[in-house]
A and B are shown apart, each in its own frame.
Chain A
Amino acid sequence: MKKPLALAISAAALAFTSAALADDPKEGGVVNTIIQPEPPGLVLGMVQNAPTRTVSGNIYEGLLRYSTDLEPMPQLAESWEVSDDGRTYTFHLREGVTWHDGEDFTADDVVFSADVFHRELNPSARAVLQHVESIEATDDHTVVFTLKQPFGPFLLSFEAGTFTMVPEHLYAGTDFRDNEHNDHPIGTGPFKFSNWERGTVIELVKNDDYYEEGLPYLDGVNWHIIPDGASRAVAFENETIDVLPSGTVENFDIPRLAEMDNVCMTEEGHEYFSPFAMLWMNNREGPTADKRFRQAVMYAMDREFAKDVLWNGLGNVPLSAFGSNARFQNDDLEPYDHNPERARELLDEMGYDGEEITILPLPYGETWTRWAEAVQQNLREVGINVETQATDVGGWNQRLGDWDYDLAFTYLYQYGDPALGISRTYLSDNIAKGSPWNNVEGYENERVDELFNEAATAFPDEEREKLYREVQEILHEDVPVGWLMELGFPTLYRCDVQNLVTSGVGVNDGFKDAWLDR
């Protein structure tokens, strides 16, 4: 996925090396960037929205961070060991780390964060914690996690946004949601919270006592809140803003902005999330309940066209349920190419009678609206009678939660491992009315359940790979959902902002290593 444009900052894990190859980093300066939309709160773990992760990833830290290849890198944990049976994980914490209020960070904070704080507040951490038998601090700087059975993706779940380290001395024994420190988050990260002027700007300042020598280089980061997309583009053009995180301007504006002088673009920094666009297909009723119909939809769609025209050629057309960034991808499967002839054959074979079906676009802006138009046209060309229904975000959530749809657009994060981000879409015990994020399509297949569950706890990785390859074959044949695209989420920035994206979660924790060449 590497693009030449990203070369300058692609060194990822080895931030220091790449910086040394270029010039010596300069200290000082403040970076102005955008946060869109305004986050509802800044305490990670309590609030999980994407904008919170983006801002607070610089205030808080996790035990590990991840390279753009999703290899774990040291953060608060200096080193770690996994026992041979895959059940015991020992983390050795860095010494001399202090919270922003001066207290020491110790193993007790880790136990409190994982065992108490996240167990109570954080559903994504809870999903991982159900595999954990005990968490113990064996001394001030060593923490041991003992699992009930091996859980392959365990090492991938320590990212700051999922397993945030929160200070025990401020939260223990309090009502977490009403804690007075929620308005002034205290973390261990390279930047400290300074000021939040609602609707205008969130200001972070350099943490002078940061434990990594010489870091951060910047004096601060200001996250501006500008509600209108066109105004955000203008603010970048007139150099008020140095960094445009992905999703802050319309796709159609990106080529124009990227062509400006002194503007660089990178697609890196979303490997951990790997946003995957899908077409929900209602497996319960109507023509979409027929496997052949769903396959016909896959053949009818011109996904390369959508990629080139709507997403400016960024991103990747997936083979099947596992994206190219996911582990254990089975690349022997036959791709669903754009093949209207084959689609028509399948529709004839099932005896599709022209029953009208509806399509719900994702109400997230122009690109998604255009995309729904393109898919509708693709489907009409093979003879599927499809009508678009426009909704707002609330209506979209509700219709999907109530299973009141035929086809609907969405995109989901993959979180690096199939057990964290992929299986949730296909497991039958994840069917529950009311949420647009679970097994919304209503796909039930015992063998698939078996394989996914076995693979999540199989050990070692070769075992998992075998199981996951089989599950992909079944899914590829059944097409429970349409696999549209692995989205390319480009970050635009002034080229003199160096070392911006150095990890697989991108600008969420990137300002730690960034410096200004001005």
Chain B
Amino acid sequence: MSFFARFAQNRGALVGLIILLLIIAMAILAPLLFPESPWRMVQRPFLPPLSQDGFPLGTDTMGRNVASGLMHGAWVSLLIGLVSTSVALLIGVPLGAIAGYYGGIIDDVLMRFTEFFQTIPNFALAIVLVAIMQPSITSIVLAIAIVSWPPVARLVRAEFMSLRNREYVEAARLVGQSNTTIILRQILPNTLSPIIVLASLMVATAILLESALSFLGLGDPNVMSWGYMIGAARTVIRQAWWLSFFPGVAILLTVLALNLVGEGLDDALNPKLSRER
């Protein structure tokens, strides 16, 4: 059975994938459908949804187009999710691989270091980091990456520990391959599937983290993100429900879609483990 067929067997995953593709399309089409900056004040403030042509989702506290903000925000959210996850993988995978492969004192040192990060509550640490570095896209991506790499390191380490004494690894060692080659060419490819599944979930977490930071006013003040939209709408939630409702739904759908896709990937990559459906 092909990879995609196995993936598609999970109906939820298929729905998730479709939603995700729609959101990606939104992000890509945003500059085409709404070429003007989403910050532009274009109409009367507080227009309810569908009350005027061209403003299907209404306008916000300053007369900015909510639909435009939502689409431009999709780009920001996906970008932050993907980049920060990549950075977290770049930190977590090597640390976990080295700790798991070598074991002993190296493992101890690296794992204590990892625990140091794990014991601090994620969100609190992210707030502190962004506040110190001044809010900007770069500092937010970095902060999210720094708080989300420890689980990656833990996972990769566990995989390496279980794989490092397998016969094919012993064989590689016997033919004289260097440790680096064994880590990169022999073991790492075999740990990819759990990493991919974890990464898809991390993208979802990163989007949530960014939204929470922006909600608290720690977002990059120059980009329109979903979290910012909700945060800015918080004070008027009783007068204008739509300002926080639509970005809220967007975050919900994106995170849900990513989780469904992650589950589908898990099934597709580990056919033997997958539950009967």
Contact = CB atoms under 8 A, between A and B. Distances in A.
B131 to A, nearest CB: 8
B63 A253 contact: no
Contact of A388 (B45, B222, B232): B222
Interface stretch (A344-352, A366-374, A442-450, A496-504): A366-374
Interface residues of A, number: 26
Nearest to A305: B41
A250 B235 contact: yes
Interface string B21-49: 00000000000000001011100010000
Contacts of B235: 229-230, 250, 252-253, 366
A377 interface: yes
Interface in B221-277: 221-222, 232, 235-236, 238-239
A372 B40 CA distance: 13
Contacts, number: 53
A504 B126 CA distance: 46
B134 interface: yes
Nearest to A391: B134
A374 B62 contact: yes
Contact of B134 (A230, A250, A389): A389
A369 B217 contact: yes
Given A366-B235, A390-B134, A374 B41 contact: yes
Interface residues of B, number: 20
A15 interface: no
B16 interface: no
Nearest to A361: B221
A309 B45 CA distance: 7
Contact of A380 (B37, B61, B236): B37
Nearest to A251: B235
A258 interface: no
A377 B40 contact: yes
A103 interface: no
B161 to A, nearest CB: 44
A257 to B, nearest CB: 11
B235 to A, nearest CB: 5
A256 interface: yes
Given A256-B238, A361-B221, A369-B217, A377 B41 contact: yes
B222 A377 contact: no
B135 A370 contact: no
Contacts of B61: 252, 309, 370
A370 B62 contact: yes
A310 interface: yes
A376 interface: yes
A373 B232 CA distance: 11
Give the dominant DSSP class at A's interface: helix
A464 to B, nearest CB: 41
Given A309-B61, A309-B63, A388-B221, A252 B236 contact: yes
A353 interface: no
A387 interface: yes
Contacts of A389: 134, 221
A185 to B, nearest CB: 35
A385 B62 CA distance: 21
A390 B41 contact: no
Nearest to A253: B235
Contacts of A392: 131
Contacts of A381: 40
Contact of B239 (A230, A252, A376, A391): A252
Given A252-B236, A252-B239, A256-B239, A387 B62 contact: no
Interface in A229-271: 229-230, 250, 252-253, 256
B162 to A, nearest CB: 46
A169 B57 CA distance: 68
A147 to B, nearest CB: 49
Nearest to A359: B221
A373 B62 CA distance: 9
Which among B45, B131, B235 has the greatest number of chain A C-beta atoms within 10 A? B235
Interface string A369-405: 1101110110011000001111110000000000000
A387 B45 CA distance: 24
A392 B131 CA distance: 9
A305 B232 CA distance: 18
A256 B238 CA distance: 9
B217 A373 contact: no
Contacts of B39: 373, 376-377, 380
Nearest to A255: B239
Nearest to A308: B45
Contacts of B222: 376, 387-388
A283 to B, nearest CB: 24
B62 A310 contact: yes
B209 to A, nearest CB: 17
Nearest to A363: B217
Contacts of B218: 390
Given A250-B235, A256-B239, A377 B37 contact: yes
A90 B71 CA distance: 70
Contacts of B40: 377, 381
A500 to B, nearest CB: 26
A382 to B, nearest CB: 13
A309 B60 CA distance: 11
B217 to A, nearest CB: 7
Interface in A353-368: 361, 366
Contacts of A369: 217, 221, 232
19 contacts: A252-B239, A305-B41, A309-B45, A309-B63, A366-B232, A370-B61, A370-B62, A373-B39, A374-B41, A376-B222, A377-B37, A377-B39, A377-B41, A380-B39, A387-B222, A390-B134, A390-B135, A391-B134, A392-B131
Interface of A: 229-230, 250, 252-253, 256, 305, 309-310, 361, 366, 369-370, 372-374, 376-377, 380-381, 387-392
* 10 tightest Cβ-Cβ pairs between the two chains A and B: A388-B221, A377-B39, A252-B235, A390-B221, A250-B235, A390-B135, A252-B236, A366-B235, A309-B45, A387-B222
Interface of B: 37, 39-41, 45, 61-63, 131, 134-135, 217-218, 221-222, 232, 235-236, 238-239
Given A377-B39, A390-B217, 5 more contacts: A309-B61, A310-B62, A366-B232, A369-B217, A388-B222
